[in-house]
Structure 1
């Protein structure tokens, strides 16, 4: 690598084969968590010189209105289907939603869903932030979610997947236990930080509905089939290793009337299979840290 491009050393290489097994509760082979991204987008956000918030000139009415469908309609349809089949949500939350649309946050909280931070707005990026600005966002996230829900966040997914070189060190310093910003494995893994204990939580871009519908141009049934095949493989391999499957969702996509039916078939399939520990991301992190402290550098 050229000077200035050294690997930051966030995690060691560990081959998938031959690792010690992770034993999930109840003898389950795969931990399955669903991550609804409950987001708030601004129609005219402050500009970031590194990236535009909207693809079209202001006002991007199409982009904004499409996403506004999530909190008006899509969330309620998606959440009802998840609750029907016993799937709690682990919410990737734009914490400004607590003020802008508190009804959605209150509904998710009443369902027993977990909240972790996805930044303040999904139209404000981490690129170019200084340390004071990034600390302010972390502190705002912790305080706002606690005030709105009574929960203390354990996890982090950077807003619009944008980062700085200090993000992981800072969230560990503030006591968060997991990050969803590393997409490198199908099991939790320790992350090296300057302060605090942090693990990576498997969060999939490949089966994210945004990628499924926007990038890969899948039909609703193709996406559902992809989720089932993802689950079947991870459940089979997890009998020997202990795996994690995340289903990241955006309710303005999966909550559309023509998509919700095939998605419900996925939830029905996983719930009936018997090999899945259907849970929340924070519960996965707690189990891993409590039972495998030697893998994260903690005391046994």
Structure 2
């Protein structure tokens, strides 16, 4: 693959391919779909602007500390996260844990429980702030990787930028730091290589459609939307997977899908998916290893 030269555009990092141009891939046991779950854990500070809000400020004037919106998120870590742990654990599903580096300290007990459950940790920035607003991306990426390594005993292989944000240099900095895959490039149903100046980087299929931030916080859909949309999404990928496998992502946040009126629909979605044969429930790293193992001749580096 040609070098990703200075002056190239974001689009140049992942050249367009039609499905017919893709290298044939097969999942173990003739599986049709690889499903991975991403649990997002963040630290929000009541004295800073909230990443999202459930209540508008009184009289339209933002007020800090923002107790109601901070409390909305904090409920997820006090109650919702533990519901996720139960739902996934009782179904023997290992999640991919996208975590702010700072959250490993702020919510140490929850993060320890995720690690004890065998979840895969990936970087989600050090704080919940767009990469465009980080003064020194390189040091922030390195600090996040180090915190996760200190906490789990191994460096994260994957990365999900806060809000899926990247500047022109983010991919190069991630590859330079040893990150192997990212979730930010929501543009395909299968992994694809990302051109970088150094190192190898892969885009693993992520989602903004089966993502509770979009469903519940942005579009404000009914509580059962994750089940209805997730089931329809899975059905189409499962149908297409008879000819060529697909990857499905389910992205959830404790303060959204972890609440009492939504968690039951997440359970029903997993039970529906698990009722099908020829499905594998993997982590992001397992998807990456499968893809690279079948694509040894694909060049990611200039």
- After TM superposition, the score normalised by the length of structure 1 is 0.90
2:176 to 173, 178, 190: 173
- Distance in 1 (CA, whole Å) between partners of 2:31 and 2:263 is 27
1:58 to 64, 68, 78: 64
CA contact (8 A) 2:216 2:222 kept: yes
Mind listing any 5+ residue stretches in structure 2 that lack a counterpart? 1-6, 54-61
- Distance in 2 (CA, whole Å) between partners of 1:70 and 1:284 is 28
Count of residue correspondences: 287
CA contact (8 A) 2:101 2:144 kept: yes
Mind listing any 5+ residue stretches in structure 1 that lack a counterpart? none
- Distance in 2 (CA, whole Å) between partners of 1:148 and 1:42 is 22
- Distance in 1 (CA, whole Å) between partners of 2:133 and 2:42 is 22
Match of 1:239, SS? coil
Match of 2:209, SS? coil
Match of 1:37, SS? strand
CA contact (8 A) 2:75 2:255 kept: yes
Query: Which residue in 2 is equivalent to 1:71?
Result: 77
CA offsets 1:243-265 (integer angstroms, 9 cap, x no match): 11000000111111111111101
CA offsets 1:242-291 (integer angstroms, 9 cap, x no match): 11100000011111111111110111111121121101001101111122
Q: Deviation of residue 296 (structure 1)?
A: 3.5
Query: Which residue in 2 is equivalent to 1:185?
Result: 188
Match of 1:33, SS? strand
CA contact (8 A) 1:116 1:153 kept: yes
Query: Which residue in 2 is equivalent to 1:80?
Result: 86
Match of 2:199, SS? coil
1:141 to 140, 144, 157: 144
Query: Which residue in 1 is equivalent to 2:249?
Result: 246
Q: Does 1:127 align with 2:132?
A: yes
- Distance in 2 (CA, whole Å) between partners of 1:86 and 1:270 is 13
Q: Deviation of residue 54 (structure 1)?
A: 6.2
- Distance in 2 (CA, whole Å) between partners of 1:36 and 1:26 is 27
Q: Does 1:100 align with 2:106?
A: yes
Matches within 5 A, 1:243-282: 243-282=246-285
Instruction: Give the alignment's Cα RMSD to 1 decimal.
Output: 1.9
CA contact (8 A) 1:86 1:271 kept: no
Q: Deviation of residue 101 (structure 1)?
A: 1.2
Q: Deviation of residue 233 (structure 1)?
A: 0.8
1:39 to 18, 39, 42: 42
Query: Which residue in 1 is equivalent to 2:12?
Result: 9
Q: Deviation of residue 170 (structure 1)?
A: 0.8
CA contact (8 A) 2:44 2:51 kept: no
